Amino acid sequence: MARKRSDRPNVVLFFTDQQRWDTTGVGGCPLDLTPNYDRMATEGMHLSNMMTCQPVCGPARSCLQTGMYASNTGVYTNRQMPMNPELKTLGSYFKEGGYTTGYIGKWHLAENEIPGPVKPELRAGYDYWLASNILEFTSNAYDTEMYDGDGKPVKLPGYRVDACTDAAIRYIDEHQDEPFFLTISYIEPHHQNHTDDYPAPDGYAEKYQARWTPPDLTALGGSSQQHLAGYYGMIKRLDEALGRLRDSIKSLGLEEDTVILYTADHGNHFKTRNGEYKRSCHDASIHIPGAITGPGFNGGGRIKSLTSLIDVPPTLLDAAAIPVPAVMQGRSMKPLARGPVADWPAESFTQISEAEVGRCIRTVRWKYSVQAEQADMLPNHQGATRYTEAFLYDLQADPYELKNLVGRTHLRDVADSLQKRLLARMAEVGEDLPEIVPAKPTPAGQGTSNQAAADTLGEDWLSPHRP
Q: Render pLDDT for 81-105 as a digit per residue (tens, 0 to 9).
A: 899 999 999 999 999 999 999 999 9
Is residue 1 in some structural domain?
Answer: no
Domain boundaries, position 124: 10-338
Q: 155 - beta bridge partners? A: 145
Is residue 4 in some structural domain?
Answer: no
Distance CA 251, CA 44 (A): 19
Distance CA 112, CA 110 (A): 6
Question: According to the model, what pLDDT value does residue 114 have?
Answer: 87
Please say if the pLDDT value at position 141 is more than 50: yes
Distance CA 284, CA 296 (A): 30
The pTM (predicted TM-score) of the whole model is 0.94
Question: According to the model, what pLDDT value does residue 364 have?
Answer: 95
The per-residue pLDDT for range 265-318, each reduced to its tens digit, is 999 999 999 999 999 999 999 999 999 999 999 999 999 999 999 999 999 999
Question: Are 207 and 230 part of one and the same domain?
Answer: yes
Distance CA 312, CA 310 (A): 6
Question: Are 27 and 130 part of one and the same domain?
Answer: yes
| Confidence band of 443 (pLDDT split at 50, 70, 90) | confident
- CATH code: domain of residue 450: 3.30.1120.10
Beta carbons of 383 and 434 less than 8 angstroms apart: yes
Using N-to-C axis directions, what is the helix angle for 35-43 and 224-251, rounded to 10°?
Answer: 60
Q: What is the DSSP string of 215-239?
A: HHHHHH-TTHHHHHHHHHHHHHHHH
Is residue 201 in some structural domain?
Answer: yes
Distance CA 198, CA 430 (A): 38
| Confidence band of 22 (pLDDT split at 50, 70, 90) | very high
Residues in contact with 157: Cβ distance below 8 Å, sequence separation at least 6, in sequence order: 144, 163
Question: Which of 298, 316, 338 is a domain's end point?
Answer: 338
Question: Are 200 and 76 part of one and the same domain?
Answer: yes
Distance CA 273, CA 374 (A): 19
Is residue 23 in some structural domain?
Answer: yes
Q: What region, left, alpha or beta, does residue 158 occupy, with left being phi > 0 and alpha being psi -120 to 50 degrees? A: left
Beta carbons of 156 and 163 less than 8 angstroms apart: yes
Question: Are 323 and 378 part of one and the same domain?
Answer: no
Question: Which of 338, 363, 381 is a domain's end point?
Answer: 338
Question: Are 325 and 363 part of one and the same domain?
Answer: no
Question: Are 423 and 302 part of one and the same domain?
Answer: no
Query: Would the CA dihedral through 148, 235, 220, 70 be positive or negative?
Result: negative
Question: Are 415 and 438 part of one and the same domain?
Answer: yes
Q: Which is nearest to 329 in space by CA: 263, 427, 436, 418?
A: 427
Question: Are 238 and 356 part of one and the same domain?
Answer: no
Is residue 74 in some structural domain?
Answer: yes
Is residue 463 in some structural domain?
Answer: no
Question: According to the model, what pLDDT value does residue 445 have?
Answer: 65
Question: Are 303 and 368 part of one and the same domain?
Answer: no
- CATH code: domain of residue 306: 3.40.720.10
How many domains is the chain built from? 2
Distance CA 127, CA 104 (A): 11
Q: Which is nearest to 330 in space by CA: 101, 21, 15, 53?
A: 53
Question: Which of 316, 338, 360 is a domain's end point?
Answer: 338
Question: Are 184 and 300 part of one and the same domain?
Answer: yes
Q: Which is nearest to 115 in space by CA: 150, 80, 90, 146?
A: 146
Question: Are 214 and 141 part of one and the same domain?
Answer: yes
Question: Are 296 and 391 part of one and the same domain?
Answer: no
Is residue 16 in some structural domain?
Answer: yes
Strand order in the sheet with 366-371: 348-354, 356-362, 366-371, 386-394, 435-437
Give the amino acid at 381.
Answer: H
Residues in contact with 326: Cβ distance below 8 Å, sequence separation at least 6, in sequence order: none
Question: According to the model, what pLDDT value does residue 50 have?
Answer: 98
The per-residue pLDDT for range 103-140, each reduced to its tens digit, is 999 999 998 888 999 999 999 889 999 999 999 999 99
The per-residue pLDDT for range 368-380, each reduced to its tens digit, is 999 999 999 999 9
Q: How far apart are the first and last CA of the chain?
A: 44
Give the amino acid at 392.
Answer: L
Q: Which is nearest to 237 in space by CA: 162, 164, 168?
A: 162
Please say if the pLDDT value at position 38 is more than 90: yes
Q: Which is nearest to 33 in space by CA: 235, 206, 261?
A: 235
With b for 16 or more beta-carbon neighbours within 10 A and e for fewer, the 164-188 pattern comes to: bbbbbbebbeebbeebbbbbbbbbb
| Confidence band of 4 (pLDDT split at 50, 70, 90) | low
Mean per-residue pLDDT, 166-191:
97
Question: pLDDT over 90 for what percent of the chain?
Answer: 90
Local structure of 394: helix, strand or coil: strand
Is residue 271 in some structural domain?
Answer: yes
